[in-house]
Amino acid sequence: MKKWLYLIIPIIIVVLDQITKQTITRTMEIGESIPVVRNFFYLTYHRNAGAAWGIFQGQMLFFYIVTAIAVIGIFIWMHKLNIAKERVLAISLMFILGGAIGNFIDRVIYHSVIDFIQTIWWGYHFPIFNIADIALVCGTLLMMVDIIYFDRKKSKDLYFTMD
């Protein structure tokens, strides 16, 4: 598969992320909450001027710089990556790229991130999140799988071939 085809993943993520956020901003008021599954899943319109759990509130320059470095780093990494041997890593990077760009767009336009997915697990109100956040988490988990499973497998193959 050609490297540029992997860009379809972040494009889909960004489009879905922005469509859902625009739908929320057009149909709900900030702070409004609509129960989808009572005591478990709500659509709640929230703006976060920070990162996860509200850390680094209002530090937009910090987020611009970190996102720019991450995006540039991912493009350099993808350019050097052997896709035929590193598919899981490539996909994980594309999920991270899509999530980073989705939230970056919000930060540039609104100086905050639009969040709207609220879940409650065993009484704990998990921080409200969005599609870009889901992509970032999935990309990070895929990268962990790649590091733990595939790197270990490559190390074993290398170890056994050295004998």
* Catalytic residue ranges: 115, 133
Q: How far is CA 65 from the centre of its chain?
A: 17
Q: Using only C-alpha atoms, what is the Rg of the chain?
A: 18
**What DSSP state is assigned to residue 69?**
H
User: Order of strands, edge to edge, in the sheet holding 41-48?
Assistant: 33-37, 41-48, 113-121, 124-125
65's enclosing H/E stretch is: helix 60-80
Kindly tell me the burial class for residue 135, based on how many C-beta atoms sit within 10 Å of its own C-beta (0-12, 13-18, 19 or more). buried
Question: What one-letter code names the amino acid at 115?
Answer: D
Given a contact cutoff of 8 angstroms between Cβ atoms, the answer to whether 98 and 74 are in contact is no
Nearest Cα neighbor of 48 from 39, 40, 58, 38 is 58
